[in-house]
C-alpha cells in the first residue's frame, strides 16, 4: 500500500512539473491505478517534451503506437521511468490529411525502427528521420500500399511489384578489398529466417546490416475485426517460445479495458507459469550458447535439461510450450496440491543439474575464450538503443518490469534482478543462469503457498476501450496495445516485442569482431525472429 501511495506522489509531482514547465498550456492527466501519466502534445512541443523526458528526467523510450481513426492519426509515445515506477504516454493527434510527423529519432535513437515501421505500415513520413527506408515491407511491395491502413484488404494478396534483378543491397563500406557476405534468409541448421549482410575487408566484420520481417505474418492486421478469444490465439501463437508471456500481456490489456478483477489464485498461477516459461527459455538459450561454441557434451547436457523442462511443462499443463493457459480473467488450468509439490521438486532438480553444468562451463577455458570480451554492448549503447531484458541487464541496466511495474502477483513475490556490468557474451550467459536461479526460487517459494480460491474471474463482459498490457517476457519487455470497438471486436492491436527492440542493437555487438564470433554473438543474444517479425 505504501508503494502505491508513493507512486501517486510521484505521478502527481510529475504531472505538475510537466504542466508548469509548459506554462499550463498542456493537458496532463494521471491514472494512479495503472501508474500512467498521459500528456496531450502536438507537433510543436513533441520534440521538446521528448528531449526533456530523456535527458532531464532520464526516462527511456519504449514504444510508438499509431492508430488510425476516422478523422485523425493518433500517435502514442510510451516512456518508462528508470528508477521510478510509472510510465508516461505522450499522445499526439494529427489530422488525417497530414502525413508528415516530426521524427524523434534524432533525439531518441531507440525510436528509429519504430518510426520506420510506422512509415511502412501506415505511410506516415517522419520528417528529420536519419534513414527512413523500409523495414517491414520487402521489395515486392508497391509504393503507397500500407497494410495497416483501414482501407487495406487483409484477406487478399497484395499486388506484387516486379523486382529489378540487378538490385543489390546498399554497401556502406567503401574500401579496397571490401566485400559483403550475405547470410540468410535460409542458413545454418535450424535457424530462423533473417538476412544478415556482413561487410568486411578481411577477418573482422566492420558493418552488420540485418534484415528482418521475412516472417511477417501481419498478426496486427489479421487481428483487426476479430473477437477477443480469437486474437488471444494469435497473441499466443505468433511467438511460440514465449507464448505465455505474450498471452499474459494481451489478457492484462483486455482485463484493464473490461475492468475485470483477476482472482489472487489466478495471479499467482500466472507468475508460476511465466517463471516456468522463463526457466525453460533460459535453458534453451544456454543450450544455444553451448552449441554455438561447439562444446558437444555441454550442448547435449543442456539439451537434456531443456527437454526435461518441456516434459515437465507438458505433464503439468498439457502443452510443452504452455499454449492455451491464459484466458481473460485468469488461467484455464488449476494445479492441485500434489501437482504443485511435483512441480516444485522437478524445477529444483532441474536447477541443480543446471548449476552443475554452469560450474563446469565456468572452468572450461576453451569455452570462456569464445565468450569473454566478445559481442560487447556498453551501458551507454544499451541505453541509447533502449535495449531490454537479459541483454540490457548484462550491460548494467537492471530494469525488470516485474519490479518496475509489477503485474499479476509479482508485487507480493520477492526476488532479485541479476545484472552484470561487462556487457559481453559471458555476462549475458551469467545473467541467463542467475535469472533461471531466481525463477526457480520464485517457484519454490510460491508453489507451496498458492492462495486459495478460483483460477478465473466468474464473468468477463467485453467493453469498448483501449489499454496497454505489459509483461516481462523471457527476452525482455513486451507491451500489447489493444483497442476494442463497440461490437467487442479488436480494432487495433499493436505489439512491441523484446526481439524487435533488441535486434535493433544487435549490430553493436556484432561489429568489430571476427567472422567466427558471429554465431556466438547471435546465440548470446538469443532473440527470436518470429517475435520480432510478428
Partner 1 sequence: MWKWVWEGLRTGIVTTAYPAREETASGVSPGFPAGLPRNFAASEQAEAVVSCCPSGALGREDGQVSFHEQRCIHCYRCLRQLTPPLEWHRQGNYEWAVPPHPGTEREKKFGKSFRRSLHLRVIDAGACGACLSEIEQLNKPYYNMHRLGFFLTPTPRDADVLLVAGPVTDHMRLALLKAYEAMPAPKGVLALGTCAISGGIFGSSFASLGGVSGLIPVDILVPGCPPPPLAILHALLSIVGRVQPNMGATAASPQGGKRHD
Q: Map the footprint of partner 1 across residues 359-378, applying CB under 8 A.
A: 360, 363-364
For the segment 304-323, give every residue that binds partner 1 (CB under 8 A): 304, 306-307, 310-315, 318-321, 323
Contact between 167 and 187 (Cβ < 8 Å): no
User: Helix and strand tally (H, E) in the chain?
Assistant: 17, 16
Contact between 500 and 216 (Cβ < 8 Å): no
276 binds partner 1, rule: CB under 8 A: no
Q: Choose which of 23, 156, 170, 338 interacts with partner 1 (CB under 8 A).
A: 156
Contact between 527 and 190 (Cβ < 8 Å): no
**Could you tell me which residues are beta bridge partners of residue 210?**
196
CA distances from 493 to 170, 220, 235, 238, 383 (A): 33, 5, 10, 13, 27
Q: Choose which of 81, 324, 418, 474 interacts with partner 1 (CB under 8 A).
A: 324
Contact between 181 and 200 (Cβ < 8 Å): yes
284 binds partner 1, rule: CB under 8 A: yes
301 binds partner 1, rule: CB under 8 A: yes
Q: State how beta strands 490-496 and 476-484 pair.
A: antiparallel
Select from 210-218, 399-407, 418-426, 511-519 the region that touches partner 1 (CB under 8 A).
210-218
| Distance of alpha carbon 270 from alpha carbon 307, whole angstroms | 22
Q: How far is the CB of 353 from partner 1 (least distance, A)?
A: 9
Interface size with partner 1, residues (CB under 8 A): 73
Q: Which of the 8 DSSP states describes residue 517?
A: G
234 binds partner 1, rule: CB under 8 A: yes
Phi, psi of 186, rounded to the nearest 5 degrees: -105, 110
CA 268 to chain centre: 22
Select from 96-104, 173-181, 240-248, 410-418 the region that touches partner 1 (CB under 8 A).
240-248
**Could you tell me which residues are beta bridge partners of residue 465?**
484
Q: How far is the CB of 357 from partner 1 (least distance, A)?
A: 8
Q: How far is the CB of 133 from partner 1 (least distance, A)?
A: 16
Phi, psi of 148, rounded to the nearest 5 degrees: -95, 5
Q: Choose which of 233, 368, 417, 462 interacts with partner 1 (CB under 8 A).
A: 233
| Distance of alpha carbon 506 from alpha carbon 502, whole angstroms | 6
Q: Choose which of 138, 207, 403, 444 interacts with partner 1 (CB under 8 A).
A: 138
Using the minimum distance from each CB to partner 1, give the nearer residue, 111 or 243: 243
Q: Which of the 8 DSSP states describes residue 424?
A: S
Phi, psi of 443, rounded to the nearest 5 degrees: -65, -45
Q: How far is the CB of 308 from partner 1 (least distance, A)?
A: 8
Q: Choose which of 5, 29, 69, 300 interacts with partner 1 (CB under 8 A).
A: 300
248 binds partner 1, rule: CB under 8 A: no
Using the minimum distance from each CB to partner 1, give the nearer residue, 38 or 158: 158
Q: How far is the CB of 332 from partner 1 (least distance, A)?
A: 4
Using the minimum distance from each CB to partner 1, give the nearer residue, 320 or 379: 320
Using the minimum distance from each CB to partner 1, give the nearer residue, 300 or 348: 300
Using the minimum distance from each CB to partner 1, give the nearer residue, 242 or 256: 242
For the segment 82-101, give every residue that binds partner 1 (CB under 8 A): none
The 3-state DSSP class for residue 200 equals: strand
Amino acid at each position: 500500500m505504501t508503494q502505491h501511495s508513493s507512486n501517486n506522489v510521484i505521478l502527481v509531482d510529475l504531472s505538475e512539473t510537466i504542466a508548469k514547465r509548459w506554462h499550463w498550456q498542456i493537458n496532463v492527466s494521471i491514472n494512479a491505478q495503472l501508474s500512467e501519466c498521459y500528456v496531450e502534445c502536438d507537433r510543436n512541443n513533441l520534440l521538446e517534451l521528448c528531449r526533456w523526458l530523456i535527458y532531464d528526467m532520464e526516462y527511456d523510450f519504449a514504444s510508438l503506437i499509431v492508430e488510425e481513426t476516422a478523422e485523425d492519426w493518433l500517435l502514442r509515445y510510451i516512456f518508462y521511468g528508470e528508477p521510478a515506477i510509472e510510465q508516461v504516454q505522450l499522445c499526439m493527434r494529427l489530422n488525417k490529411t497530414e502525413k508528415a510527423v516530426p521524427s524523434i529519432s534524432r533525439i531518441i535513437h531507440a525510436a528509429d525502427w519504430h518510426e520506420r515501421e510506422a512509415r511502412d505500415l501506415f505511410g506516415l513520413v517522419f520528417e528529420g528521420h536519419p534513414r527512413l527506408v523500409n523495414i517491414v515491407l520487402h521489395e515486392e511491395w508497391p509504393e503507397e500500399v500500407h497494410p495497416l491502413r483501414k482501407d487495406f484488404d487483409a484477406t487478399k494478396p497484395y499486388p506484387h511489384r516486379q523486382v529489378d534483378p540487378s538490385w543489390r543491397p546498399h554497401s556502406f563500406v567503401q574500401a579496397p578489398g571490401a566485400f559483403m557476405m550475405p547470410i540468410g534468409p535460409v542458413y545454418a541448421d535450424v535457424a530462423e529466417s533473417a538476412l544478415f549482410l556482413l561487410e568486411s575487408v578481411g577477418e573482422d566484420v566492420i558493418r552488420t546490416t540485418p534484415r528482418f520481417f521475412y516472417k511477417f505474418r501481419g498478426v496486427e492486421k489479421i487481428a483487426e475485426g476479430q473477437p477477443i478469444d480469437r486474437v488471444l490465439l494469435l497473441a499466443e501463437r505468433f511467438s511460440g517460445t514465449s507464448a505465455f508471456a505474450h498471452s499474459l500481456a494481451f489478457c492484462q490489456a483486455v482485463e484493464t479495458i473490461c475492468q475485470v478483477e483477476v482472482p489472487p489464485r489466478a495471479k499467482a498461477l500466472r507468475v508460476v507459469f511465466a517463471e516456468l516459461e522463463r526457466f525453460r527459455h533460459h535453458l534453451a538459450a544456454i543450450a544455444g550458447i553451448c552449441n554455438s561454441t561447439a562444446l558437444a557434451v555441454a550442448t547435449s547436457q543442456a539439451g537434456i535439461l531443456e527437454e526435461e523442462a518441456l516434459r515437465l511443462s507438458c505433464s503439468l499443463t498439457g502443452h510443452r510450450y504452455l499454449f492455451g493457459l491464459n484466458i481473460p480473467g485468469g488461467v484455464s488450468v488449476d494445479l492441485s496440491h500434489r501437482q504443485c509439490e511435483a512441480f516444485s521438486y522437478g524445477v529444483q532438480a532441474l536447477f541443480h543439474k543446471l548449476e552443475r553444468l554452469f560450474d563446469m562451463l565456468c572452468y572450461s577455458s576453451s569455452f570462456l575464450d569464445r565468450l569473454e570480451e566478445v559481442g560487447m554492448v556498453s551501458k551507454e549503447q544499451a541505453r541509447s538503443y533502449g535495449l531490454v531484458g537479459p541483454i540490457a541487464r548484462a550491460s548494467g541496466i537492471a530494469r525488470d518490469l516485474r519490479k518496475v511495474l509489477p503485474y499479476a502477483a509479482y508485487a507480493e513475490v520477492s526476488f532479485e534482478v541479476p545484472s552484470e556490468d561487462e556487457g559481453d557474451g559471458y555476462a549475458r550467459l551469467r545473467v541467463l543462469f542467475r535469472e533461471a536461479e531466481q525463477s526457480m526460487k520464485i517457484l519454490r517459494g510460491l508453489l507451496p503457498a498458492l492462495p486459495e480460491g478460483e483460477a478465473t474471474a466468474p464473468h468477463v463482459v467485453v467493453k469498448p476501450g483501449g489499454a496497454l498490457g505489459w509483461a516481462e517476457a523471457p527476452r525482455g519487455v513486451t507491451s500489447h496495445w489493444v483497442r476494442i470497438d463497440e461490437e467487442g471486436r479488436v480494432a487495433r492491436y499493436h505489439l512491441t516485442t523484446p526481439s524487435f527492440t533488441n535486434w535493433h542493437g544487435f549490430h553493436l555487438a556484432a561489429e568489430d569482431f571476427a567472422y567466427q564470433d558471429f554465431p556466438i554473438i547471435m546465440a548470446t543474444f538469443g532473440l527470436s525472429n518470429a517475435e520480432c517479425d510478428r
